[in-house]
Structure 1
């Protein structure tokens, strides 16, 4: 039987008060998806978001990936994945028994909605307490930082984790526009934050069934790690 992966995308499209748009980041979904699709047998992919329907794709990530064949092909051939996502409320109603792994791509959107979304937090909690894989890349770990388990502890407490770093946020000039700094919050909840040797370098951290990647360059490695752990 093929494994089954639930991918959760942001529904948030506005980049604070900048007048610019955001959403989920193309290469952070396209590269793991390519890994999944190339495996045998390929896993079943279900895509959800807080609101359901079309999940906003960060247009700047399309420009950034214009020379990336995997992302360009994904953009043109797989749009059905993000144009008709399942609402998180429906995922909760249906239950998570059929899934093996949960994956959150990044983009700045998750910082604004998934970080505080109660349905998303409940899904993460259920996956973790059922012994399933929980994974995220770049800003995707924003969906994990506020999750508390049944014992009252933060999911990330005592775990090794990576995510988009404070210095990388500074580098893109958006630190003052974020509702919080992701690296800082990860440390605040008691996790051990790990970082690549230099900004934008690939960094994968696997702590049991918790899989995180630092930035877009780490997305493929996250996809490979998900399949390996499954």
Structure 2
């Protein structure tokens, strides 16, 4: 039976302080919008999902450096398909895994607060889609969720796999090491290595990098969001 041509984009529910300038973190706009556009342009239906059914944007991700005006407008225009999906965000535990052939886990530093051991609904959805023969895609800080994603036999899908994700070197460049350490927050690179993954670093840290291992696709940073989605679309067509 063919997989449903429908994707779930999983985003963080956390929206609160992180940055030294006082701005909040949360879901990173381009890492949600870019895959949404890639999938819908390829004919997928797309739902946006979070652990609690709520979300907020990383305020840095709304700056012109990361979000062109059309992206901002798409997130706010109630007639736009992207804004409609955001307005109808689903709680992970209320979804049905068999509805989806693909899960795309987006990043933003909000994930370091709620993806590591605190998002069982998100992890269960990704694991069940994977069990059903679907794809799991995770980008930037989104791979923080992967160590909690297991298959029906209890195997961690990331163990022994080649993956990427936001590197420690990127946290250094962003000046967030002290904040992460003080808050005992997750580093994407470290949680992947601790889970037994073969981590491949993007160097420089903000250059696009996509790694494929079977039905697991990972991207290293915001620049990797569209390439990771495009890679997943191609792989989906080969399943």
Q: TM-score, normalised by structure 2?
A: 0.85
Q: Distance in 2 between matches of 1:155 and 1:161?
A: 11
2:41 aligns with 38
**Is 1:205 aligned with 2:211?**
yes
Name the stretch that deviates more: 98-107 or 123-132: 123-132
CA shift, 1:217, in A, is 0.7
1:66 and 1:72 in contact (8 A); partners too: no
Please list every run of at least 4 consecutive aligned residues from structure 1 whose deviation after the TM superposition is greater than 4 angstroms: 16-19, 64-67
- Secondary structure (helix, strand or coil) at the match of 1:102 reads strand
Structure 1 segment 45-194 matched on structure 2, within 5 A: 45-53=46-54, 55-65=55-65, 68=68, 71-76=71-76, 77=80, 78-91=82-95, 95-116=96-117, 117-178=119-180, 179-194=185-200
Determine helix, strand or coil for the equivalent of 2:16: coil
Is 1:229 paired with 2:235?
A: yes
The answer (yes or no) to whether the contact 1:142–1:182 under 8 Å persists in 2 is yes
The alpha-carbon distance between structure 1 residues 49 and 67, as it changes in their structure 2 partners (threshold 3 A), is closer
CA RMSD of aligned residues (A): 2.1
2:24 to 10, 21, 24: 21
Aligned residue pairs total 224
CA distance, structure 2, for counterparts of residue 195 and residue 82 of structure 1? 31
- How far residue 206 of structure 1 moved from its aligned partner, in angstroms, is 0.9
Cα distance in structure 2, aligned partners of 1:86 and 1:142: 20
* Mapped partners of 2:231, 2:155: distance in 1: 26
**Structure 2 stretches of 5 or more lacking a match?**
none
Structure 1, 63-72 or 172-181: larger mean CA deviation = 63-72
